[in-house]
Amino acid sequence: VIVSTASSPDQAGALAATAVLEALVAEPRAALGVATGGSPQPLYASLARLVGDEGVDLRSRTAYALDEYIGMPPDHPESYHAVVARDVTGPLRLRPELVHVPNGAAEDPVAAAAAYEEAVRAHGPRVQVIGIGANGHIGFNEPGSARDSVTRVVELTAETRAANSRFFASVDEVPTHAISQGIGTILAASTIVLIAHGATKAEAVAAAITGPETTDVPASFLRSHPDVRVFLDEASASLLPQHTH
Ligand code: GLP
């Protein structure tokens, strides 16, 4: 794991965007794996600028989202279908038909999860952007998720639903379940770029990078991957020992 600490979330986003673009350019067939949430927003904003300034054409890139709520129609503004379209597909000028999000509205979410796992794995190389939850989750792999877990139906913890209630009128509107890529699915990417900012992430970041590899902190499993780059602002890096950043 290579950790870079920047003075602000925007700076961290700019560094992370450069890393993502380098990895994509190095692997012309690689898919772009995308995360939702507040963490990657500075990364996407910088990447959109870079793509525009340098005339990089991402129109032939396939993209895969990490997760989607279950039971939310895709046209709901807080469904990850809608968030990915807004934050990623539009700004990066990807082709919508090449941007995939798990089907959380499927009649059979278990089958939809299995089909998604197969599609992600079949594509081949992937440059994966991820955030981290305050409880150490990646995607919606809550504490307890196995290192070799695959895309599946997961139940969200009360803590995660409370954290995500800021996007909804009340916590009761936050779905209770989601389809999420597994930790094993995420670890199959060739390059993983983790981005985080803010003091609320400091504990999870420190546990993931310096604590034991454990199902209690799903992000700690990233340490067994050969190419993980972590981009932090000072607040989210504040509990790391000095030499790691
Ligand atoms: C969300 C997502 C994750 C995300 C995390 C942190 O619920 N499923 O992919 O990384 O929780 O969210 P945020 O970046 O908004 O803090």
Q: What is the per-residue pLDDT across 11-22, written as a single tens digit (0 to 9) for each?
A: 999 999 999 999
pTM of the model: 0.97
Q: Which residue minimizes the CA distance to atom 6 of ligand 1?
A: 133
Residue 245 has pLDDT above 80, yes or no: no
CB-based contact 108:181 (threshold 8 Å): no
Active-site annotation holds for 137: yes
Dihedral angle sign, alpha carbons of residues 131, 133, 139, 144: positive
Check residue 123 and give its pLDDT.
96
The helix (H) or strand (E) run that includes residue 208 is: helix 202-210
Length of the chain: 245
Active-site annotation holds for 87: no
User: Residue 38: CB within 6 Å of ligand 1?
Assistant: yes
Check residue 242 and give its pLDDT.
76
Distance from the CA of 189 to the center of ligand 1, in angstroms?
19
Check residue 243 and give its pLDDT.
57
Residue 113 has pLDDT above 60, yes or no: yes
